[in-house]
Amino acid sequence: MNESDSQAISTSPEAAEQQGARELLLETASQIMREGDQVDISLSELSLRSGLNSALVKYYFGNKAGMLKALLDRDMVTIIRSVDALLAKDAMTPEAKLRRHIGKCIDTYYAYPYLNRLLMRLVRDSDEADARKIADTYLTPLGVAYERLIRAGVEAGVFRAVDPQLFYFTLTGAADRFFSARLVLRHCYGQDTLTEELRDRYREHTVDFIMAGILARKS
């Protein structure tokens, strides 16, 4: 089979339809989690909302856990790629890189507020080998990236020597906690919707707050 034949098969109407159904299942699952502020779904609701037979979950993903892992991969890759792209930008200062990354994290968690809870659930519910694979795929790259970013800032004299591991928990906690706290907003502040305006305010607040803690103090 030559390259053109292979391309024709991969872009056939049947292949495109299958890919569309798979992506629709993932996007519907994502919508259910966002709207319900949860990290679980029922296959009956997924079928009703997507208009697809729930048996397709087994066909495309093996089972519901496999679908949740595919959803995590779809959403978490945004953060991984963004930090990798920043590390490759030699023209940007460490401070500019970190500011942009923090802002990107806030935007990602606004789009997928279940992200960290889904990650922790999959790690908790997986066997040791699968849990290690999830950690190596999503957590270790971030830890390495933060170590490199912070070290570059320290060497440039603009960052304090903070612990990269603790920095991960600080940033992830700040992003995850706010966008998974709609009940607090509703009952304490009378606000039931996470608007783009609120996201923008929180992004600016979080960037300034975290950077104030890591920037080197001038004597």
Residues 209 and 135 in one domain: yes
Residues 209, 211: Cα–Cα separation, whole Å: 6
DSSP string, the chain: --HHHHHHHHTSHHHHHHHHHHHHHHHHHHHHHHHHT-S---HHHHHHHHTS-THHHHHHHSSHHHHHHHHHHHHHHHHHHHHHHHHT-TTS-HHHHHHHHHHHHHHHHHH-TTHHHHHHHHHHHS-HHHHHHHIIIIIHHHHHHHHHHHHHHHHTTSB----HHHHHHHHHHHHHHHHT-HHHHHHHHS-----HHHHHHHHHHHHHHHHHHHBPPP-
Measured at the CA of 48, the angle between CA 43 and CA 49, to 5 degrees, comes to 100
How confident is the model over 37-64, as a mean pLDDT? 93
Q: What is the mean pLDDT of residues 54-79?
A: 92
Together in a domain, 18 and 110: no
pLDDT at 80 over 70: yes
pLDDT at 83: 84
Least confident of 6-15, 28-37, 134-143, 187-196: 6-15
Q: Which residue has the higher pLDDT, 179 or 12?
A: 179
Kindly state whether residues 99 and 151 are assigned to the same domain. yes
9, 44, 62 — which closes off a domain?
62
Rg of the chain over Cα atoms, rounded to whole angstroms, equals 20
Rounded to the nearest integer, the mean pLDDT of the chain is 86
- 38 and 75 in a common domain: no
Q: Looking at the domain assignment, is residue 219 inside a domain?
A: no
For residues 26-40, average pLDDT = 91
Decide which of 19 and 179 is more confident: 179
Whole-prediction pTM value?
A: 0.82
Q: How confident is the model at residue 1 (pLDDT cuts 50, 70, 90)?
A: very low
**Mean per-residue pLDDT, 65-80:** 90
Same domain? 41 vs 81: no
One domain for residues 110 and 179: yes
Please give the Cα distance from 24 to 44 (Å, whole number).
15
Amino acid in position 26: L
Domain that holds residue 40: 1-62
Read off the pLDDT of each residue in 54-59 and give the average, rounded to a whole number: 94
Q: Which of 62, 97, 115 is the last residue of a domain?
A: 62
> Tell me: the pLDDT tens digits for 132-160?
998 999 889 899 999 999 999 999 999 99
Domain boundary among 62, 80, 97: 62
Q: Cα separations (Å) of 41 from 35, 89, 118, 168?
A: 11, 39, 12, 28
The predicted pLDDT at position 55 comes to 93
- Whether residues 89 and 126 share a domain: the answer is yes
Per-residue confidence (pLDDT) for residue 72, from 0 to 100: 93
State how far the Cα of 13 lies from the Cα of 21, in Å rounded to an integer: 12
pLDDT tens string 168-202: 999 999 998 887 777 777 777 777 777 899 899 99
Residue 17: pLDDT band (50, 70, 90) is low
* Residue with the larger pLDDT of the pair 173 and 2: 173
pLDDT of amino acid 14: 53
